[in-house]
Amino acid sequence: MTNKVKKRYELQIMLFLVLVSGLIALTLCDIGSKEDHRFLDNGWEYSWGDRPPETAGSDGQWQPLKAFTEPPERNGQNFLWLRIVLPSEPVKNPIILAKFVQQTFEVYLDGKLQYNYGILPAPAGERFRPWLPLHFIGLPDEAAGKMVYFRISSDAPAIGIKGVVEYGPTHGLFRYKNMLDLLKISSAALLFFSGVFVLGLYLFSRRDTIYFTFAGNAILSAGVVFSSTYNSFLIYPNADFWNYFIFCSVLGWKIFWFQFFVYIVEERYNRAVQIISWTISGVFCLFILAAFVNPLWIETILLLHTVISVTCFLLILYFCRNQIFYGQEVQFYAIGTAVWLITNTLDTLSILGVIYTPAFISWVGQFAEVAGLASVLLLRYAAIQNRMNEYSQDLEEFNQDLENIVNERTLDLSIQNACLEQLFDNSPDAMVMLNLNYQVTKANSSFELLFGYSEQEVLGKELRTLLQIPGTVSVEEHIFDTSRMAQDIHLETIRFHKTGNPITVALTAYPFITETNQVGVYAVYRDISDRVLSERILRDSERRYRLLAENMEEGIWLLDFDRHLLYISPSLKKIMRSSLEGYLKKLRQELVSPQLDAAIHEVINSYYKGEEIQVPVLLEEEIGNSAHNSIWVETSITIAYDDKKEILGLLGITRDITSRKRTERLLAYSYERHRRSQFFADISEGVLSAETEIYARARQLRINLPAQFALYFCLVEDFQHPASMEQRDVLLDEVANFVSQQYAAEAWSMADGIGILFNLECIDGGKMSVMQHAADCLQLLQAEFAGKLFRIGVADYADSVQTFSRRLQHARTAARIGRQRSAGSIVQHYEECGIYEIFDYFSGLEEAETFVARTLQPLMAYDQANHTELVDTLEKLLSGNNLKDLAESLFVHYKTLASRKQRIEKVLQVSLDSAEDRMRLGAALQIRKMLMARKGAQ
């Protein structure tokens, strides 16, 4: 608590302490002497069983008993006799005050009934009242020194006197009790009014919830203290009411007591404390319900209540372990709780008979506990007052600082106004101020110089008239007349000189607006005629250079030394196409490109070595992620300088060299293919004849020439698109490449087809395997080259490379015979050619054409002259079918076909029924086809 707050509330605190001290002193001084009040706590005896009062005094039946405890060895007895000898000092109007008597009883003196409570024996189900009522038992004046007997009946488990028995004169005993009650009631009143006062603060001043918690704690504590006075029972002698009142007050007080703890514990423990608080509150509710259901459980409940209270105190110490040494709030809370815990424990132990206390003192603990909570509130209130004082002091300092700032700002504003006036007058830009009618109220010398007016000619004139703005054109300076009312305007426009010459100006107009009114317009004009002209020239230059960059074949890019991209020409996008993004990432080092990085580092290192004139670094690289999308580019990299010899960055000129690279690759491949074809041509023509020489040359050309191989020859025809010789050579090269790649075989182009050499170890040998392999090859070729015809001739087998020329000729012969036999693609083995082998050989001689002409020329001439097809008819007649079947297959009449036969016989002067003529004509037809095939291949 701060010194200011202590001084402010010093008088109130002193008055409170004096009041409490006075009450305590008054109670202690006026409590009376020992003769006025005694505790009957020694000399008690007991006896079990019911008997007439006149026989109760037999000494053999009595046993000594510790005061206020239940006698042992009950054994189902419902009657108990207790006795004690009264003090021998004479007393006027003696009286005994007894409490906690269970259940009904009678009091006898000299065999006479002095007091009775309830019916003896106690009726079944008699209500068990643990604390109340209080029993005031009046005795005659001669009772001093005599034996008093208590006849007690109970059908409950408990029987006897559990509370303190007091004895004395009526006046003295009541004075003693009233003085004690005065202290209790005064304490209860203090607690009650404190709670009501704080509750009022909470309700009307909107204080924190902690005030409400304290109010509930204090009011319920007052209820607990008041209900413990004997005067409360005298005022309203209803034992059940006060028993319930005590239970409910204790429960409510406990709930508020633990809830108060939530507000002083560290914030991180709030959740845990709230859970524990409501859990313990629920347990206390169960205790009260249990006590109402069965009052005999009260002693057990009191014991559990004490254990839980100790546990709560330990929890308080645990949660406040970090605050207990420096937090005053926690210290006050813990001290008040500790005092209450000690007094409550002593009272509980006294009730249970463990110890003996002449009077209950737990109300002192109640008072101490509430005082501890009140101290916490006072600390918080003091802290609030302290903060308010600090805020007040800070506010005073803030006001002083604000006043100083206002004075400084006023001085600054005056300086700024002077500076603005000078800035307005001396600005190189033309400035003018307009009123709401857009009339000039002030203009600087630059305005007069720019537009050619004197100050007298400007002031009071409307701006539209002054600057010769046509009436059909909107005036941008008229800010308040536009849709963008009262907004700044920044634009370039044309205004006119006094002489009428146009001036291109940059116009900036601002509105003058106060908090409530529109004052006018402030306009600034800057002559930008030279800049506009320069920009126009620059735009024209940029347009020309842009057109040049967009239409040139090379792509241009510019990097700084940190690899930041400064410029790329549009032509680079055309070159790179879809690969542009990847190439730019390489330039920016977002992707690793060792070649490009090395080239750029070489250029940069040359610059740092001081080489002013550099030879550009040339770099060729393939860009793209697939064979179909990749391109080859050549990049020239050097340092770029401006006209002042300042470095602009790294200049790269990139050009597409894909066509060149493709041509180079094709040339290299064509040369290699030519060498390989020439090798096989040399073997077939006998240039290379020695086996060692052949294999040495094959190794030199990296040709796999096995000892055992199958040899094919393939005729290729494009029947859909007859091609030129150049196109035919390209087709043969493509087929040869395909076969080489698919089968890892050796394939080479020849004048009339392609030769194919297969390793027999890969085919497993044998004629059938070779034929099947050739058929598989034919299927692949047909699938790859649609619209093409392939006739594959398979050579006979030989186990020497020296027979290569002969076998290749046999394969070529088989291919030609295959074409003769079938109009489509076919595989033909040389050994299966039959008579066609002779025809093929004869067709290569000069006599072949003479033989065909001598045999078929008259019929061919007849067909040409008469537009008939008798040669084709002759071929069908020689096929062996009879005329009737042949006529049906040709969809002609039998007689028509017979007439054609007769005409053929007449033209050729032969008989088609003659075997010799038929053989000669058939041979001529086959040789004719082979001649035509040879001419077509050539």
Q: What is the pLDDT of residues 190-227, one digit of tens each?
A: 777 777 877 887 787 666 777 777 777 777 777 777 77
- Tokens at 671, concatenated: 């040369």
Per-residue pLDDT at 783: 85
Least confident segment among 79-93, 153-167, 216-230, 451-465: 216-230
Whether residue 689 lies inside any domain: the answer is no
Last residue of a domain, one of 527, 562, 589: 527
Residue 24 lies in a domain: no
Residue 59 DSSP symbol? G
- Quickly state the pLDDT bin for 148 (edges 50, 70, 90): very high
Which tokens is 811 given? 């394969």
Mean pLDDT of the chain: 77
Looking at the structure, tell me whether residues 159 and 202 fall in a common domain. Answer: no
540 burial level (CB within 10 Å; 0-12, 13-18, 19+): exposed
DSSP 5-21: HHHHTHHHHHHHHHHHH
Q: In terms of domains, do 227 and 353 share one?
A: yes
Whether 639 contacts 614, CB under 8 Å: yes
Is residue 163 predicted with pLDDT exceeding 80? Answer: no
- Structure tokens, 538: 């620059």
Going by the DSSP 8-state scheme, the letter that residue 145 receives in this structure is T
Q: How many CB atoms lie within 10 A of CB 322?
A: 12
**Residues 164 and 193 placed together within one structural domain of the fold:** no
Q: How far apart are CA 832 and CA 855, in angstroms?
A: 27
676 alpha-carbon distance from chain centroid:
65
Report the range of poorest mean pLDDT among 303-317, 470-484, 749-763.
470-484
Looking only at the bridges linking them, the beta strands covering 617-623 and 112-117 are unpaired
CA distance 639 to 835: 79
| Ramachandran sector of residue 787 (left: φ over 0; alpha: ψ -120 to 50; beta: rest) | left
Q: Which two tokens stand for residue 299?
A: 């002693």
Distance CA 831, CA 807 (A): 11
Provide the CATH number for the domain around residue 863: 1.10.10.2840
CATH number at residue 635: 3.30.450.20
Give whole-number Cα distances, 931 to 400, 719, 934, 935, in Å: 125, 19, 5, 6
pLDDT, residue 287, reads 75
How far is C-alpha 430 from the geometric centre of its chain's CA atoms?
A: 57
Give helix then strand counts, H and E, for the chain: 29, 27
| Predicted confidence (pLDDT) at residue 652 exceeds the cutoff of 80 | yes
Q: How many CB atoms lie within 10 A of CB 585?
A: 13
153 and 239 in a single domain? The answer is: no
pLDDT for res 528: 83
DSSP 323: T
End residue of a domain, out of 381, 412, 444:
381
Does 826 reside within a domain?
Answer: yes
Domain edge (last residue) among 381, 400, 418: 381
Cβ atoms within 10 Å, residue 449: 12
Number of neighbours of residue 420 by Cβ within 10 angstroms: 10
More confident residue, 321 or 676: 676
- Looking at residue 717, what is its pLDDT? 82
- Helix 870-877 vs helix 847-866: angle between axes, to the nearest 10 degrees? 120
Examine the domain organization and report whether 775 and 643 are in the same domain.
Answer: no
Which own/partner contact pairs does 573-577 have at CB distance under 8 Å and 24+ positions apart? 575/631, 575/633, 575/654, 575/655, 575/656, 576/623, 576/631, 576/633, 577/629, 577/631
Same domain for 268 and 340, yes or no, is yes
Question: Could you report the per-residue pLDDT of 625-640, keeping only the tens digit for each?
Answer: 555 567 888 888 888 8
Q: Quote the pLDDT of residue 1.
A: 47
Q: What 3-state DSSP class applies to 481?
A: helix
Residues 837-846, mean pLDDT to the nearest whole number: 65
In the predicted structure, residue 456 carries a pLDDT above the cut 70: yes
Euclidean distance between CA atoms 451 and 453, whole angstroms:
6
Residue 453 and residue 487 in one domain: yes
CATH code where residue 740 lies: 3.30.70.270
Q: What percent of the chain has pLDDT over 90?
A: 1
* pTM beyond 0.75, yes or no: no
The Cα diameter of the chain in Å comes to: 191
DSSP-derived secondary structure letter, 439: B
- What's the domain range around 306? 178-381
**CA 512, chain centre distance (Å):** 50
What average pLDDT does this structure show over 292-298? 67
Q: Exposed/middle/buried for 685, CB within 10 Å: 0-12, 13-18, 19+?
A: exposed
Among the listed residues 276, 250, 259, 218, the one whose alpha carbon sits nearest the alpha carbon of residue 347: 250
Percent of the chain with pLDDT over 70: 80
* Domain contains 127: yes
Do 199 and 311 lie in one domain? The reply is yes
CA quadruple 337, 341, 342, 344: dihedral positive or negative? positive
Provide the CATH number for the domain around residue 128. 2.60.120.260
Burial of 608 from C-beta contacts in 10 A (0-12 / 13-18 / 19+): exposed
Does 478 lie in the same domain as 330?
A: no
What count of Cα atoms within 13 Å lies in the side-chain half-sphere of residue 191? 29
Across 170-174, 537-541, 651-655, the highest mean pLDDT is recorded for 651-655
The Cα 935–Cα 938 span in angstroms is 5
In a domain, 675, yes or no: no
Sign of CA dihedral 234, 239, 244, 246: positive
Give the bridge partners for 522, in sequence order: 433, 510
Higher-pLDDT residue of 682, 475: 682
C-beta of residue 682 within 8 angstroms of C-beta of residue 688 = yes
Q: Do 560 and 519 reside in the same domain of the chain?
A: no
Among 376-380, 578-582, 895-899, which range has the highest average pLDDT? 895-899
CA distance 741 to 41: 124
Residue 672, domain member (yes or no): no
Residue 705 near residue 746 (C-beta atoms within 8 A): yes
Q: Which of 5-14, 54-63, 137-146, 273-282 has the lowest mean pLDDT?
A: 5-14
344 and 294 share one domain = yes
Alpha helices in 120-238 (DSSP H): 170-205, 209-227, 230-235
Handedness of CA 896, 898, 901, 907 (dihedral sign): negative
Please tell me the predicted confidence (pLDDT) of residue 107.
92
Backbone angles phi, psi at 150, to 5 degrees: -115, 120
pLDDT interval class at 2 (50, 70, 90): very low
Look at residue 5 in the predicted model and tell me its pLDDT. Answer: 47
Worst-scoring range by mean pLDDT, 223-232, 318-327, 565-574?
A: 318-327
Distance set, CA 174 to CA 26, 139, 142, 149, 161 (Å): 16, 15, 20, 23, 21
What domain count does the chain have? 6
The strand pair at 79-85 and 518-527 is best described as unpaired
Looking at residues 461-470, what average pLDDT do you find?
A: 78
Q: Is 229 found in the same domain as 257?
A: yes
673 by DSSP, 3-state: which?
helix
Could you tell me the CATH number of the domain that includes residue 370?
1.20.1070
Tokens 């340092």 label which residue? 639
Residue pair 495/525 in contact (Cβ under 8 Å)? The answer is: yes
Is 540 a member of any domain? Answer: no
- Which tokens is 733 given? 């090269």
- Give the range with max mean pLDDT: 90-99, 417-426, 722-731: 90-99
DSSP string, 882-918: -HHHHHHHHT--HHHHHHHHHHHHHHHT--TT-HHHH
Query: pLDDT tens-digit profile of 587-609?
Result: 777 677 788 888 888 888 888 87
Q: Is residue 792 part of a domain?
A: yes
d(C-alpha 217, C-alpha 258), whole Å = 9
- 95 pLDDT more than 50: yes
Q: What is the pLDDT of residue 486?
A: 58
Residues constituting the chain: 938
